[in-house]
Structure 1
Amino acid sequence: MAQHEPSWTRALYVDGEFRPPAAGATLDVRDKSSGALLGEAGSADVADVDAAVASSLTAQRAWAARPHAERAAVLRRVATALEQADGLRELIVRETGSIAGKADYEIASAVGELTEAAALASRPVGEVLRTGHPGRFSVSERVPVGLVAAITPWNFPLVLGMRVIAPALALGNAVLLKPSPETPLSGGLAIAELFARAGAPAGVFQVLPGGERVGRRLVEHPDVAMVHFTGSTAVGREIAATAGSLLKKTSLELGGNNALVVLADADVDQAAMIGAWSSFHYQGQTCISAGRHIVDRAVADAYLDNLVGRAAAVTVGDPLRDGAGLGPIINDAQLARARRLLDDAVAGGARVLTGGTAEGRFFRPTVVVDVDPSCALWTEEIFAPIAPVAVVDGADEAVALANDTRYGLVSSVVGRDVHRATEVARRLDCAMVHVNDATPQDEPLAPFGGTGASGLGGRAGGDANLEEYTERRWRTVTGAPVHYPY
């Protein structure tokens, strides 16, 4: 797979083929480090969405009727094609501005999503129920939702797309994917190329790069049965409002303002390493990054010294040319937001211990103390390599501060006494919690998702996917004659 296959140029992927959009509009795809043009993707419009939906409806019914082994075989072939894809690693680095290690993680994790989904296809999809009616056979069975629209983000475009695509297809659904306009290649058309090579039936999986009009039409279309969105809480609220008025199933994986709690008995070097990775990896641009470091006063000075040293040692630059540990912020708007959050915090009395500067979009890892707990840097998702640190006295104060948020995605607790750290972790109000490890964790079999402002709907991963991408249907069969009053 070349960085930009000729068939992808100015294209969508609809009904089993790469084709130009109806209106001929395009999206420029740029190297996030250099700004160089990588290529052009097609930019869909409402007419393209409607055509893709019509194709999917017919294809989905035939796909769901296929034996589960055939669906699983397609997914395994996609996994093989992904493992053998030439140039995809560099494409992810260039299109997302990540280091090569992050691209390697995406590819390996996407392969894992595909192989686990292939196994999901053979899971039992029903259970026999007891009944009080003689001669009646009663069963609860799972049936596909139907047509699933997946609206995915730019930060982990390959794996966050595959997390929806693979299990939804395994269970007999069709998928329409709208990747972020920032990453329409690695998050969309490259995935389409894999499914084309694997011989996926036309119309079962389609890719519609585009902007807000495409996303809105997918949410509003009466024949789209379910919308899965990964992205900001603000956009998630809009989708939830629209889908709710249409009584449409949604799954929303939204933002986080995640806490890293460092207890008084923590190994400071270990804790600071966990803290640095939690806040700085991929420029802090993940929903599961640590946005709040809550540190016991007993180890606060040592923790800050260690964290500052780690931040200062990180190389920032073009991951392909400079061998950097961190690449650029994704775009100018995101950079401006990070600057505004930091500047407002400093204006309110916060102190920057290291970082806080940028050359172009290359933002230095930043450690901040004395942050007013009411300022946006502390209360909102940051999406930049900034680590705000608060000092507390004891575990009770740490738990209260960690839980003082409208978000509920993930937290971590670090301490030598594993039993005590686990007890603290159990008191945290979030959907995922890790003891003595970083906040960014994700495995194909684990239930991933959030509560509060961090998510609405179910979970992704493992058995949770059965709940996400199927509906329960009660079916009875009666062999003997029945009798009613009239």
Structure 2
Amino acid sequence: MTASVQPELLTSFDPATGKALTTYRVDDEDAVRAAVATARAAAAMWSELSFAARRKHLLRWSSLLVAKSAELCDLIHIETGKPRGDAFLELLLALEHTAWAAKNAARVLRPRSVRTGALMANFSAAVEQRPLGVVGVIGPWNYPLYTPNGSIAYALAAGNTVVFKPSEHTTGVGNLLAATFAQANPELPEGIFTTVNGYGATGAALVASGVDKIAFTGSTATGKRIMAAAADTLTPVLLECGGKDAVIIAADADLPAAADAVAFGATSNSGQTCIGVERVYVLRPVAEQFLAELTAVLADVRPGIGAAAAYGPMTLPGQLAVVRRHVEDALAHGGTLVLGGPESIKPPYVEPVVLVDVDESSAAVCEETFGPIITVRTVDSIDEAVRLANNSGYGLGSAVFSRRHGRAIARRLRVGATSVNSVAGFAAIPALPFGGVGDSGIGRIHGDAGLLEFSRAHSIAVQRFSLPGAELLSYRRSERTLRLLSTVVRLVHGRR
């Protein structure tokens, strides 16, 4: 989908037909600052609510999203081009995560007493988690509900207010999310969850607006620019960036199941998935059978706009050029086609393409493709598969297929998450943190870590009673106390 540039206007388009959908006002720097100011005023009230009260408001919102599921899924479908079934799956996952965050915030963020140690035995100590204040969220277009919700719902559950800048390609979804939150909770003040609309300049204004944290999902290049801009004000960032996810197929894998999972992981949502399958490393004894299974599955997978389509169009027309370049570069680097080829690129659609034994230096192996393209390489050992899988600047998701050794292989991968005998299973489990390493980002959403990401630790030490003459942090400290402490130190720490 593209967006036409008019003065202070943004028009969204259906990526399958090119038809104009809706026009939105672009929020400039002043409008963004006003939204953040409103959110900050609302934060005073929202942060003071009990966990139970915030849970009630979040679950009310979820109930309304269920009631409006048809409208929401239709909007996701028309703005991204993905099938309605995939849009519903996105809604389902968002609902699961919202419920988990709402129900677990009290457990994760409650005050915790900690031991003081013998030297401070006259103190009690506790760690309390405080909301950050206002969180700015900058969301992507490929999963316009599920992905930003991993920051929005968790930030709200932790007691923050949220200003959300949706992608210019899925502005309608973002606006509907905020509108339904307000509709579900009419007694709440304005500003707890609001959106600002626009292009990159609006996102940049949000970064510079004085928010207390920025949560961004998008390309690594944009993530680096956001981090650099946020450094000017020491605004902390959470970055979920690109991926070049690898799958390892061991000799003892269930090959039909592995082929089915890889096919889905590589082509669903037109391959426009940060944790989509892009590289496969398969052990030589099973390589031929795996490829046969994989191509058999993908032979019946076709993009389109109708009900029978497995996936939709490329949302961004410019991504077609990236896909074409990667396919042509792979062939130039010795890759062999076993399914599809350059002729599979039929704007706005790309049919599945499978390339075998592409050189590891090629763009198709090194760069994020974000299209329904798979490279499959035969390897002679698990050690070789792990080495090649880890030979990437990215480190987001991964998968391992092995009946007996999946967990052991998974532990060797330099990534944020691994699914064993499935693809992307970790993303559907709310208790599991999600995020990457290296060029794939910084920080975590989801799970306990996702709630803690949107809070700050406040350490409190309380002196319960004084020890005359034995105070450590006082000029009244006696020489006798120091001699006693010297003996204690030798007994406790000097015998190792």
TM-score normalised by the chain length of structure 2:
0.88
Structure 1 distance, partners of 2:412, 2:465, is: 55
Structure 1 distance, partners of 2:350, 2:201, is: 32
Structure 2 distance, partners of 1:299, 1:130, is: 54
Structure 1 distance, partners of 2:7, 2:325, is: 37
* Counterpart for residue 450 of structure 1: 436
Q: Is the 8 A contact 1:120 1:171 kept in 2?
A: no
Query: How is 1:180-329 mapped onto 2 (pairs within 5 angstroms)?
Result: 180-186=167-173, 188-199=174-185, 200-221=188-209, 223-318=210-305, 321-329=306-314
> Once the two structures are superposed, what CA deviation does each residue of 1:45-88 show, in whole Å capped at 9, x if it has no partner?
11111111111111111211122222111101100000000411
Structure 1 residues 128-137 or 283-292, which shifts more? 128-137
Q: Is the 8 A contact 1:410 1:432 kept in 2?
A: yes
Q: Is the 8 A contact 1:69 1:121 kept in 2?
A: no
* Counterpart for residue 16 of structure 1: none
* 2:102 paired with 1:118: yes
- Amino acid across the alignment from 1:160: T
Structure 1 residues 200-209 or 475-484, which shifts more? 475-484
Query: How is 1:1-400 mapped onto 2 (pairs within 5 angstroms)?
Result: 25-85=8-68, 86-123=70-107, 124-131=109-116, 132=119, 136-186=123-173, 188-199=174-185, 200-221=188-209, 223-318=210-305, 321-356=306-341, 357-400=344-387
Q: Is the 8 A contact 1:278 1:438 kept in 2?
A: yes
Q: Quick check: which has more Rg, 1 or 2?
A: 2
Gaps of 5+ in 1: 1-22
SS at match of 1:344: helix
Deviation at 1:480, TM superposition (A): 6.1
Deviation at 1:474, TM superposition (A): 1.4
- Over the aligned positions, Cα root-mean-square deviation in angstroms equals 2.0
Structure 1 distance, partners of 2:243, 2:105, is: 31
Structure 2 distance, partners of 1:309, 1:136, is: 68
| Counterparts in 2 of 1:135 and 1:428: CA distance versus 1, 3 Å | closer
**Structure 2 counterpart of 1:424, from 409, 427, 437:** 409
Q: Is the 8 A contact 2:270 2:371 kept in 1?
A: yes
Structure 1 distance, partners of 2:307, 2:193, is: 38
Q: Is the 8 A contact 2:302 2:352 kept in 1?
A: no
> Once the two structures are superposed, what CA deviation does each residue of 1:68-112 show, in whole Å capped at 9, x if it has no partner?
222111101100000000411111111111112211111111111
SS at match of 2:299: helix
Structure 1 distance, partners of 2:311, 2:127, is: 50
Q: Is the 8 A contact 1:99 1:324 kept in 2?
A: yes
- Aligned residues: percent identity? 37
Deviation at 1:265, TM superposition (A): 2.5
* 2:464 paired with 1:476: no
TM-score normalised by the chain length of structure 1:
0.90
* Counterpart for residue 5 of structure 1: none
Structure 1 distance, partners of 2:98, 2:252, is: 41
Structure 1 distance, partners of 2:307, 2:212, is: 46
* Counterpart for residue 485 of structure 2: none
* Counterpart for residue 447 of structure 2: 462
Deviation at 1:158, TM superposition (A): 0.7
| Counterparts in 2 of 1:82 and 1:133: CA distance versus 1, 3 Å | same
Structure 2 distance, partners of 1:62, 1:55, is: 12
Q: Is the 8 A contact 1:78 1:114 kept in 2?
A: no
Structure 2 distance, partners of 1:227, 1:379, is: 28
- Amino acid across the alignment from 1:410: G
* Counterpart for residue 480 of structure 2: none
Structure 2 distance, partners of 1:107, 1:399, is: 34
- Amino acid across the alignment from 1:217: A
Q: Is the 8 A contact 1:312 1:355 kept in 2?
A: no
- Amino acid across the alignment from 2:314: I
Deviation at 1:135, TM superposition (A): 5.8
* Counterpart for residue 491 of structure 2: none
- Amino acid across the alignment from 1:118: A
Deviation at 1:42, TM superposition (A): 2.5
> Once the two structures are superposed, what CA deviation does each residue of 1:390-434 show, in whole Å capped at 9, x if it has no partner?
111121211111111111112111123x2x232222222212112
SS at match of 1:453: helix
Q: Is the 8 A contact 2:324 2:345 kept in 1?
A: no
Q: Is the 8 A contact 2:303 2:311 kept in 1?
A: yes
Deviation at 1:134, TM superposition (A): 6.8
| Counterparts in 2 of 1:469 and 1:350: CA distance versus 1, 3 Å | same
* Counterpart for residue 488 of structure 2: none
> Once the two structures are superposed, what CA deviation does each residue of 1:217-244 show, in whole Å capped at 9, x if it has no partner?
22122x2110111111111111222223
